[in-house]
Every structure is written in C-alpha cells, then in structure tokens.
Amino acid sequence: MRYQRGFVTPDVRLVAASQSGIFPVFLIQPLIWLGLIAIFAAGAMWMKMSYDEKRRDEGRAEVQKLWDEDRAMRIKRTTEITLVLSGKLMEAKDDAARREAAINARFSTLEDRVRALAAGRTVVVSGGAAGILRDTADAANRTVAPAADGAGEASAGSVPIAAQTVAYDEQEFVRWIVQAGAAYSDAVSLWAAARQREDALRVTVETLRKEVGP
C-alpha cells in the first residue's frame, strides 16, 4: 500500500471496498449516466420507429386515397361516356324511326296513286322479261333455292322467247315496282341506322380507351 500523510489513495479504497464486498460508490454516478444514456437511446429508437411507422401509415393512406380518387374518377367518366353512348343510340333509333315514317309516308302516297290507275289495262312483256321479273322476285324473297347444274335456267328458257309474251295487269305491275322500291328504301334506311350505331360505339370505345384506360 501507498500512504501519503495519513490518507488512503483511491486504488487503496477500491481494493479495500472490493475486499469488504461493498460496491464502489464512485461508480454509481457513471452507471447512472450510462443508464440515462441507454434510456435516452432506447427512447430515441422507439420514437424513430414510431415516426417511421406513422409515415408508412400516412403513405399507405395517401396511396389508398389517390387510388380511390382515380377509381372514382374512372367510374364517373365511364358512367358519363356510357350515358353519352346511350343517348347516341337513342338518337340513332329516333333517326331510324323518322326515316321509316318518312319512307312510309312517301310510299303510301305512291300506293294511293297506284290504286287510282284505271283498271283493265295491261303491260305486255316478253317471256324472257317475265322470267327475269319472276326470278328477281324469288331471289329478293329467297323463296327459290339455287338449282343445281343450271336446271333453273333450262326451265326458264324452255319456251322460245319470241313465241311467248306475258301480260300483267297494269295496276298490279306498278304496285310490284313500288313495293320493290319501298323494300330497297327500307334496306338503305336500316343500313344507315346500323352505320350510325356502329360509329357511336366506335367513338365511345376510343374515348374510353383514351380517357379511362383499358
């Protein structure tokens, strides 16, 4: 041991305390500081973890909010475009109805004129012309299946054209022409309505792809 004028040096106190089983008092303050530092570090880590978790939750909420807004916008825009399409289809239907009414009115007037024709008059055509008229009516109404190996042509030309003429009642003959014109006009009207609906659908699909996405 080292003595200096009647008092014990720190290393002597440490040895004496360790030998006597008493914890060194001078270590208490550093240990307290270490504990406080550990508590502060743990608190800081906990705060950082809580902050990061909060930020993650906020990020998830923001992403979900943006996704919901985008989805709502797409649904709203799709609904608007669908309503526009429905309006265009209804407009096409109304246009078709107006065209049909106009066609019926025109041909109704023609039917009245047909009924006003004098009775007893005839229209005479050759046998060949009569066969063409008959076959045209059959083809238009699809009432006659195509004959195999030209059998239909053979039957139509079985009587020499020069030796046969066919007389039609003038009123019935003109009525047949008027009905053919009405049928053609109906076909054109239906084609126009179909094109109008097709154009409306095409424009709607293109708009949906451009504004809403696939």
67-97 pLDDT, tens digit each:
888 888 878 888 887 888 888 888 888 888 8
Are 198 and 117 in a shared domain?
yes
Are 21 and 86 in a shared domain?
no
Are 109 and 178 in a shared domain?
yes
Residue 150 placed within a domain: yes
Are 99 and 176 in a shared domain?
yes
Are 188 and 126 in a shared domain?
yes
- CA distances in angstroms from 47 to 50, 95, 175, listed in the order given: 5, 71, 96
Residue pair 179/68 in contact by the 8 Å Cβ criterion = no
The yes-or-no verdict on residue 156 having pLDDT over 80 is no
Residue 57 placed within a domain: no
Residue-wise pLDDT for 23-73, tens only, equals 566 677 777 777 778 787 777 787 777 777 777 777 778 888 888 888 888
Most confident range (mean pLDDT) of 6-10, 187-191, 201-205 is 187-191
The yes-or-no verdict on residue 118 having pLDDT over 50 is yes
Indicate the DSSP class of residue 144. Answer: S
* 91 Cβ neighbours under 8 A, 6+ residues apart: none
Residue pair 117/174 in contact by the 8 Å Cβ criterion = yes
Residue 61 placed within a domain: no
Tokens of 130: 């009569």
Q: At what angle do helices 127-141 and 170-211 cross, to 10 degrees?
A: 40
* Per-residue pLDDT band at 174 (split at 50, 70, 90): very high
Q: Average pLDDT in the 113-128 region?
A: 88
Structural domain containing residue 110:
67-211
Residue 52 placed within a domain: no
pLDDT, the chain, mean: 75
Continuous segment of H or E residues that includes residue 64: helix 28-115
Are 123 and 187 in a shared domain?
yes
Residue of higher predicted confidence among 14 and 181: 181
Taking residue 100's Cβ as centre, other Cβ atoms within 10 Å add up to 15
Residue 177 placed within a domain: yes
Are 81 and 178 in a shared domain?
yes
Answer whether 0.75 is exceeded by the pTM.
no
Are 8 and 93 in a shared domain?
no
Are 8 and 111 in a shared domain?
no
Q: Average pLDDT in the 5-22 region?
A: 48
Q: What is the pLDDT of residue 22?
A: 53
Q: What is the pLDDT of residue 55?
A: 76
Residue 194 placed within a domain: yes
Tokens of 23: 């914890």
Tokens of 77: 């825009």
CA angle 91, 95, 99 (to 5 degrees): 170
Q: What is the pLDDT of residue 214?
A: 57
Dist. CA 180–CA 137, nearest whole Å: 9
Indicate the DSSP class of residue 116. Answer: T
Are 22 and 95 in a shared domain?
no
Tally of domains within the chain: 2
Residue 43 placed within a domain: no
Instruction: Report the first-to-last Cα separation within the chain, whole angstroms.
Output: 91
Are 25 and 128 in a shared domain?
no
Are 20 and 109 in a shared domain?
no
Residue 131 placed within a domain: yes
Tokens of 151: 């059998």
Residue pair 63/153 in contact by the 8 Å Cβ criterion = no
